[in-house]
Chain A
Amino acid sequence: MNLRMTLATTTRVLGQLRHDHRSVALILVVPALLLAAVYFLFENESLPPGFPRTFDRVGLMMLAIFPFVVMFLVTSVTMLRERTSGTLERLLTTPIHKADLLFGYALAFSIMAALQSLVATAVAYWVFDLDIKGSPGFVVMVAVINAVLGVALGLLCSAFARTEFQAVQFMPVVVVPQILLCGLFVAREDMNQVLESISGALPLTFSVDALKEIAGNAEATAMMWQDTLVMGGIVLGVLVLASLTLRRQTR
């Protein structure tokens, strides 16, 4: 690996995004708007005193799920373009290492994800008074790890799509099951055994668990760090799988 090439790739990917004002605006603003929608959806719920608002639970999880979905889409389309435009083949004739390329991408989109979740978390806290015990810093951390998971899966899935249309179709396959089973709609302990064990194998579940730890405890818990570590391991594993799909030579 070569830091100069990794950073050059990060700069290049961010440069491409910078010229695309509309995408930048969508990435930064849409999650905050959707969060507002969730807030007003539950605005009139009547709760017994002392009972936490639904927004505090659902809104918090949305903060971590948005970056995952958005970065999956952005990355799979960008990487597919790289594969089809010939720039990937050209890059692989240069001394760049595959890891430089993948980590360059991951770093660029993590920066975008950090900005996105800073905006969304700030809105959740200051506009809608999100009420959790733990530190918002940890929420942003989990959001960024989720974003990198989205980047890694996007890089991997782009290898199995020939067109941008196909790349987008991977969302219902890869992203939606994770959202359904992560514990957002139904708590994991209330699922039937089959779904629960599938849920336990999906990466997003770990970050939702970590968020629950953050919401319920003022200090970082060992459980939260464990979930975070598992997520980190999964992300690395997927990035390694993605690097196997980059071939310098065709048969």
Chain B
Amino acid sequence: MPPLPAAIEATGLRVSRSRTEILRGLDFTVDSGRITGLLGPSGSGKTTLMRAIVGVQRLTQGHLTILGRPAGSATLRHDVGYVTQGASVYADLTVEANVRYFGAMHGAAAADAAEAIAAVGLEPFARQKAADLSGGQFSRVSLACALVAHPKLLVLDEPTVGLDPVLRAELWERFAAMAAAGTTLLVSSHVMEEASHCSSLLLLRDGQLLAQLSPGELAERGRSSDLERAFLTIIRAADDGQEERQVAS
């Protein structure tokens, strides 16, 4: 199989919001048809990076190319799906009405909506108001609203927060199936054990890219099979490096 072109390409990407620099020069590529994990402590710039990728955050400097087009291009709106951290759905509508509405923006039929609802396991609740669902079900409505568009690139901000282990495993299986079918997924998380589901990891810290590596490499470089510990080791090493440089200068 010929290598697919990169789904996301960032060069010298900088974003400042109200004079604070949030992303401080990022260079990376994300492969098509893979699950890429975006990991980092809260406040490291994960959400801002995702917002830049889906085109709602203006860049201060640098380039960001999504599926071969500049981020924010009107033509990308059919191909990029975004699931925000807090579920962005209409609480006063039924699950079905929510999914159908977002589907209508992409010309999706009622069958697509039913398929998306089934994909997140909400079939029995399709006719219930979103507000009456549990927290985990509510956030899955948000996911279904993105799946209904069959995006080529799906950006998910902490999709597994508040889900029980069984559901989490199911979702990761679904993500893997989507990637196998050619969808590119960028998934942020601050739970390191989820990193093992990704084929590539972007480690973000204070708006800078600490490393881009596979889960295996993370375990190796962090000298631990426990990815959480491995991540901590890498972060501490980076912090020590920074301090040494500051002392030297």
Chain A residues near B (Cβ < 8 Å): 4-5, 8-9, 11-12, 15-16, 19-20, 85-87, 89-96, 248-251
Contact present for B105 and A15 (CB under 8 Å): no
In angstroms, Cα B92 to Cα A200, docked, is 41
Contact present for A90 and B97 (CB under 8 Å): no
Q: A85-B90, A250-B57 are in contact. List 19 more A-B contacts (CB 8 A).
A: A4-B104, A8-B105, A12-B93, A12-B97, A16-B90, A19-B129, A85-B88, A85-B91, A87-B88, A87-B89, A89-B88, A91-B105, A93-B55, A93-B80, A94-B77, A248-B55, A248-B72, A251-B17, A251-B58
Interface size on B, residues (CB 8 A): 32
> Which residues from A are CB-within-8-Å of B89?
87
Contact present for B101 and A12 (CB under 8 Å): yes
> Which residues from A are CB-within-8-Å of B80?
93
* A-B contacts at CB below 8 angstroms, number: 75
> Which residues from A are CB-within-8-Å of B105?
5, 8, 91, 94-96
B107 within 8 A of A: yes
B102 within 8 A of A: yes
Contact present for B58 and A89 (CB under 8 Å): no
> Which residues from A are CB-within-8-Å of B101?
8-9, 11-12
In angstroms, Cα B55 to Cα A108, docked, is 29
Name the interface residues of B117-134: CB closer than 8 Å to any CB of A: 129
In angstroms, Cα B100 to Cα A251, docked, is 31
> Which residues from A are CB-within-8-Å of B90?
12, 16, 85, 87
CB distance from A34 to the nearest CB of B (A): 27
When A and B form their complex, which 8 residue pairs have the shortest distance between CB atoms, in order from nearest? A86-B88, A8-B104, A94-B105, A90-B88, A95-B77, A12-B101, A249-B58, A16-B92
Partner of B84, one of A5, A86, A92, A94: A86
